[in-house]
Amino acid sequence: MAQTFDITVFEGDGIGPEIMAPTVRLLRQLADRTADYDLRFDTVPAGATHYSETGESLPKASLKSAANADAILLSAMGLPNVRYPDGTEISPQIELRKEFGLFAGVRPVRLVPGQQSPLDLPDGKTVDFVLIRESTEGLFYSQGKGEVSEDEARETLLITRDVSEKLFEFSFNLANSRKDQGRGIGKVTCVDKANVFRAFAFFRDIFDAEAAKHSHLKSDHAYVDATALWMVQKPWDFDVMVTENMFGDILSDLGAGLMGGLGMAPSADIGVKNAVFQPCHGSAPDIAGQGKANPFAMILSAAMMLDWLGAKHNNDAMIQDGKRIRDAIDALVVSRKTLTADLGGKASTTEAANAVVAEILEHA
């Protein structure tokens, strides 16, 4: 019997609805082809456009749908010219992170041969690693709480044992499942600055204690500055790397840069019960409504959702469909077929998304 999953969908702002529509269509098509799982979508309002129309950025009913869902699919939210009275941007995605304790920000960095990138990969080398950014504390704990006087400013970094333990357990489990899928050597790298800050020595000790529970996997440490260098010089050496919030914020943009930009960068924010899947890019108001947006980062985020649900609920069909989506997008990028303008092509959003479906059906 098919397992049924409830998915809350936030279409968001700017290009959000344009990239979400073909993504949901693709997910429905995949689910319709199998008897092993079914998806029920609940599309709910939130974001800057909704705020400007109603004065509410994240309605209670939308939050309730998200809280009860098996997974949350979110495109992009926020518009530069729509702000709260205090001047800050509308970003319900950050509220969801806090509300649901989504501590693990998962940012895959993959480069397929032929993909535009500032890197010149040596023959036989591929890049396929995952950066996990702690997303609820670290230096971002201080957000809105910093103290500034005439002569000095202070922000406080917080690292807790509870969140770090969950974060590292998640990281080793991910390395394990990647190893099972033949996608990594089963290694987790703790990225910190333990040579300078006591808080990072504490972070590293908790990492080592978790590593000891996974003796069949490898573990090592790297300082964040050296990591930035190695991500450019030898990115193929990484498998899973895990780091503090601010370091992860910076390194994940470096990772997106290695992939040739934001158009191919998916992400997930995962907690104990809830998980949000969304592209790394924003709402791109400069190209909204023109049918030019690249849907691949959104579609790859949906593939991550299938991976996560499949692993959590022992549903192989979902894991296979996640892989089918990635393989289809890889094939389009390698052949340089039906790509949007940001990837050097001429295709519209709909043409690029339809090409993913056609590619999947061709190999069915």
Point out which residues bind ligand ATP (CB under 6 A): 15, 78, 262-263, 281-284, 286-287, 293-294, 297, 342
3, with CB counted inside 10 A (0-12, 13-18, 19+), is middle
Query: Torsion angle of alpha carbons 355, 360, 361, 364, nearest 10°?
Result: 170
* Minimum distance from residue 91 beta carbon to ligand ATP (Å): 8
Residue among 137 and 342 whose Cβ is closer to ligand ATP: 342
Query: Residue 40 pairs with which residues in a beta bridge?
Result: 6
* Minimum distance from residue 78 beta carbon to ligand ATP (Å): 5
Residue among 14 and 310 whose Cβ is closer to ligand ATP: 14
- Tell me the residue nearest to ligand ATP as measured from the CB: 282
Place of tokens 């926020």: 78
162 in helix, strand or coil? helix
* Minimum distance from residue 288 beta carbon to ligand ATP (Å): 9
* Minimum distance from residue 166 beta carbon to ligand ATP (Å): 26
* Minimum distance from residue 42 beta carbon to ligand ATP (Å): 24
Residue among 244 and 342 whose Cβ is closer to ligand ATP: 342
Residue among 31 and 287 whose Cβ is closer to ligand ATP: 287
Spatial contact of 41 and 70, defined as CB atoms under 8 Å apart: no
347-360: burial string, b at 16+ Cβ within 10 Å, e else: bbbebbbbbbbebb
Spatial contact of 348 and 18, defined as CB atoms under 8 Å apart: no
Residue closest to 63 by CA, chosen among 97, 20, 90:
97
Cα–Cα dist 21/16, whole Å: 9
Residue among 184 and 282 whose Cβ is closer to ligand ATP: 282
Read off the DSSP letter of residue 263: G
Provide the residue count of the chain. 364
Residue among 15 and 190 whose Cβ is closer to ligand ATP: 15
* Minimum distance from residue 143 beta carbon to ligand ATP (Å): 15
